[in-house]
């Protein structure tokens, strides 16, 4: 399953980044995927993230989604597990 993609089409590009949204369920597994960001700091749908550590998206279903930066997938998992709403969560892959 791929990370949720929210295409934006505005006259002057996409908004800065994306917001975390939705409610997570501890009984459901969490998807975690690194999102590519180009050399100018934009994702594939045109949202601006800037440059820095790799960008990760974590989500459940189609309504609960969040974003974070981490050097590795293991670090990203640790950051997700540090969130009170997802403490003890299980991951796909």
Task: Report domain extents, the chain.
Answer: 31-86
Write down how long the chain is: 93
The three-state secondary structure class of 65 is: strand
Backbone angles phi, psi at 59, to 5 degrees: -160, 165
CA angle, residues 70, 73, 77, in degrees to nearest 5: 85
Share of residues in the chain with pLDDT > 90 (%): 48
pLDDT digit string, tens, across residues 13-22? 555 556 666 7
More confident position, 10 or 75? 75
Residues 6+ away with beta carbon under 8 Å from 1:
31, 92
> For the whole model, what pTM was predicted?
0.77
pLDDT digit string, tens, across residues 16-54? 556 666 788 888 899 999 999 999 999 988 889 999 999
């Amino acid at each position: 399953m791929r990370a949720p993609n929210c295409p934006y089409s505005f006259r002057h590009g996409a908004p800065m980044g994306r917001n975390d949204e939705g409610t997570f369920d501890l009984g459901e597994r969490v998807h975690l995927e690194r999102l590519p960001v180009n050399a100018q700091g934009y994702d594939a749908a045109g949202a601006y993230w800037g440059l820095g550590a790799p960008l990760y998206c974590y989500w459940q279903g189609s309504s609960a989604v969040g974003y974070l930066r981490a050097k590795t997938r293991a670090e990203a998992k640790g950051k997700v597990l540090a969130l009170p709403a997802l403490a003890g969560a299980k991951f796909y892959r």
